[in-house]
């Protein structure tokens, strides 16, 4: 920490000592508070009026954003400068949705890639590109995991509207693979294999399974050529493989990649026109984040609130509660976006971080959650924060009921409920939460929401002085898994770690 950052951090610690013990009813309930704690950007509204803070805390958090050069860091990212130091890369996901960088050649490449991708999608949708059988495609099987799966699954589930049926293979558990393929006709199925590295074990194993499936059903060696799309950054690995190939720039991280050619399954599910609305919504937030000052910048405020709750109010859990059925996959998507980006323990200089980084991210679809985990939220003993996501769109009779529940739960989480005659009914409250309202649920507003969370993640990375664009922690387990798999498959293979070797023998006894 610089001396200025350390001074501001100490000031926040002093302020937090008061707010940690302050009861919810000690915070102002005057409606005037909404004038300064509600922000609207186009069709998205952010309301943080039920957070455990006051104007002094907000002012000090904004000071922290200035001392950490948050706005300048974002400008460097938008410009296409290197912001991922461990891999010496820029972070160009915003460029994929048309937000200009400082390099015209990059912007030109993005436009050319979009023309190619959208034309391919139109040709498939209109039956101009067909299966090896001569039939038009009726189904799309998408093979990918993690950043090559979660955003695609979320958006296809939320917005699918074309004639194509989308199916997903992420992990390679046998029953999952068999059941997925059993429901498909290979003569009418377009297969997309998406992997940035093109070396992800689960994706490669599923690719092999699907190659065998198509060969067995078609009786033709060349059948796969017509039914295959490969998407990767590793162009050398694709060079000798059949099918149509699309490239993802190395500078676009997997969990930020739905705006790139990795979004092809979304493009096929919702059509080019809706996909352009998705990009435009994200671009709206890009322009807002790039230009708005801290106090009126939705992404910066989301990040500063998360930092306040995590580092000063000592929450270790953050729940995302979506009162929008179309966004049922959002919590799983945000788990990866936030925890893979911000689950770091070293600074960009390689030193141990002096404070906690991201909380555990979890959540689910409402109002189902009200009959599952809300008991824990209201009367459990752990400190947490929450995002409530809802829409003001009311096209059906029960939509008002869903909105009413989101507002009610948001209120009770903070203010609780006092019952002096029946202590089992007492709710302490005091948990800070943010309400995010979308005027409508469509491609544009969902694009805005996802871009908002992406920028929140980047802001937290810069505030904590960590790299939100790498993920080295996941690699070690993959390496060990390969070695353990050999031991499980080959009785003569011995693991170097004696305890691990003994455990594997215990699980799967075998003779040497």
Do 38 and 156 fall within a single domain?
Answer: no
Do 243 and 300 fall within a single domain?
Answer: no
On whether residue 61 sits in a domain, the answer given is yes
On whether residue 238 sits in a domain, the answer given is yes
On whether residue 84 sits in a domain, the answer given is no
On whether residue 286 sits in a domain, the answer given is no
On whether residue 512 sits in a domain, the answer given is no
Do 224 and 196 fall within a single domain?
Answer: yes
CATH label of the domain that carries residue 50: 3.40.50.10490
Do 299 and 366 fall within a single domain?
Answer: yes
Please count the structural domains in the chain. Answer: 3
Q: Render pLDDT for 335-372 as a digit per residue (tens, 0 to 9).
A: 999 999 999 999 999 999 999 999 999 999 999 999 99
Q: Are 325 and 446 in contact (CB under 8 A)?
A: no
Q: Which of 274, 303, 326 corresponds to the end of one domain?
A: 274
Do 248 and 194 fall within a single domain?
Answer: yes
Segments forming the whole domain that contains residue 317: 3-22+32-79+292-470
Do 75 and 207 fall within a single domain?
Answer: no
Distance of CA 91 to the CA centre of its chain: 15
On whether residue 269 sits in a domain, the answer given is yes
Do 9 and 45 fall within a single domain?
Answer: yes
DSSP reduced 3-state for 191: strand
Q: Render pLDDT for 196-242 as a digit per residue (tens, 0 to 9).
A: 999 999 999 999 999 999 999 999 989 999 999 999 999 999 999 99
Q: Are 227 and 266 in contact (CB under 8 A)?
A: no
Do 195 and 207 fall within a single domain?
Answer: yes
Q: Which residue has the tokens 């003779």?
A: 511
Beta bridge partner(s), residue 244: 229
Residue 367, Cβ neighbours under 10 Å: how many? 15
Q: Render pLDDT for 473-483 as a digit per residue (tens, 0 to 9).
A: 988 888 888 89
Do 301 and 441 fall within a single domain?
Answer: yes
Residues involved in catalysis: 340, 371, 478
Give, for 384, the enclosing helix (H) or strand (E).
strand 384-391
On whether residue 16 sits in a domain, the answer given is yes
Distances (CA, A) of 434 to 37, 50, 87, 303: 10, 7, 34, 12
On whether residue 285 sits in a domain, the answer given is no
Q: Render pLDDT for 119-161 as a digit per residue (tens, 0 to 9).
A: 999 999 999 999 999 999 999 999 999 999 999 999 999 999 9
Q: Which residue has the tokens 């409530």?
A: 388
Do 69 and 184 fall within a single domain?
Answer: no
Q: Are 417 and 425 in contact (CB under 8 A)?
A: yes
Q: Are 185 and 136 in contact (CB under 8 A)?
A: no
Do 458 and 489 fall within a single domain?
Answer: no
Q: Are 55 and 15 in contact (CB under 8 A)?
A: no
Mean pLDDT of the chain: 95
């Amino acid at each position: 920490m610089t001396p200025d950052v350390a001074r501001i951090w100490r000031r926040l610690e002093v302020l937090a000592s008061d707010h940690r013990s302050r009861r919810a009813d000690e915070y102002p309930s005057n409606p005037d508070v909404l004038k300064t704690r509600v922000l609207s950007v186009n069709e998205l509204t952010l309301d943080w009026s039920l957070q455990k803070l006051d104007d002094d805390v907000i002012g000090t958090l904004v000071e922290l954003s200035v001392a950490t050069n948050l706005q300048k860091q974002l400008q460097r990212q938008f410009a296409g400068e290197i912001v991922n130091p461990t891999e010496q890369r820029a972070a160009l996901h915003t460029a994929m949705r048309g937000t200009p960088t400082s390099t015209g050649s990059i912007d030109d490449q993005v436009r050319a890639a979009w023309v190619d991708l959208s034309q391919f999608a139109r040709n498939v949708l209109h039956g101009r590109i067909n299966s090896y059988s001569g039939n038009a495609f009726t189904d799309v099987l998408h093979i990918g995991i993690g950043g090559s799966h979660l955003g695609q699954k979320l958006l296809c589930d939320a917005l699918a509207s074309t004639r194509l049926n989308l199916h997903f293979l992420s992990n390679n558990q046998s029953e999952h693979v068999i059941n997925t393929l059993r429901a498909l006709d290979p003569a009418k199925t377009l297969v997309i294999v998406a992997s940035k590295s093109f070396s992800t074990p689960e994706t490669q194993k599923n690719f092999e399974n699907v190659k065998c499936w198509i060969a067995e059903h078609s009786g033709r060696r060349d059948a796969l050529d017509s039914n295959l799309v490969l998407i990767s950054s590793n162009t050398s690995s694709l060079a000798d493989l059949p099918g149509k190939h699309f490239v993802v720039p190395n500078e676009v991280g997997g969990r930020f990649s739905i705006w790139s050619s990795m979004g092809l399954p979304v493009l096929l599910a919702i059509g080019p026109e809706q996909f352009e609305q998705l990009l435009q919504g994200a671009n709206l937030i890009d322009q807002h984040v790039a230009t708005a000052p801290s106090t009126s910048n939705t992404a910066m405020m989301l990040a500063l609130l998360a930092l306040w709750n995590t580092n000063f109010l000592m929450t270790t859990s953050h729940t995302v509660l979506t009162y929008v059925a179309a966004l049922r996959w959002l919590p799983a998507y945000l788990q990866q976006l936030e925890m893979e980006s911000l689950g770091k323990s070293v600074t960009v200089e390689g030193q141990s971080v002096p404070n906690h980084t991201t909380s555990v991210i979890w959540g689910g679809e409402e109002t189902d959650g009200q009959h599952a985990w809300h008991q824990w939220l209201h009367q459990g003993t752990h400190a947490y924060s929450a995002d409530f996501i809802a829409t003001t769109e009311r096209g059906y009779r029960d939509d008002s009921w869903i909105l009413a529940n989101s507002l009610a739960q948001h209120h009770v989480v903070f203010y609780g409920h006092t019952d002096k005659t029946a202590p089992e009914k007492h709710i302490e409250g005091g948990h800070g939460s943010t309400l995010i309202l979308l005027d409508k649920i469509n491609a544009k507003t969902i694009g805005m929401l996802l871009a908002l969370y992406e920028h929140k993640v980047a802001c937290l990375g810069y505030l904590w002085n960590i790299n939100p664009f790498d993920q080295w922690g996941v690699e070690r387990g993959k390496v060990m898994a390969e070695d353990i798999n050999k031991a499980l498959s080959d009785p003569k293979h011995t693991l170097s770690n004696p305890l691990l070797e003994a455990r594997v023998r215990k699980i799967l006894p075998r003779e040497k």
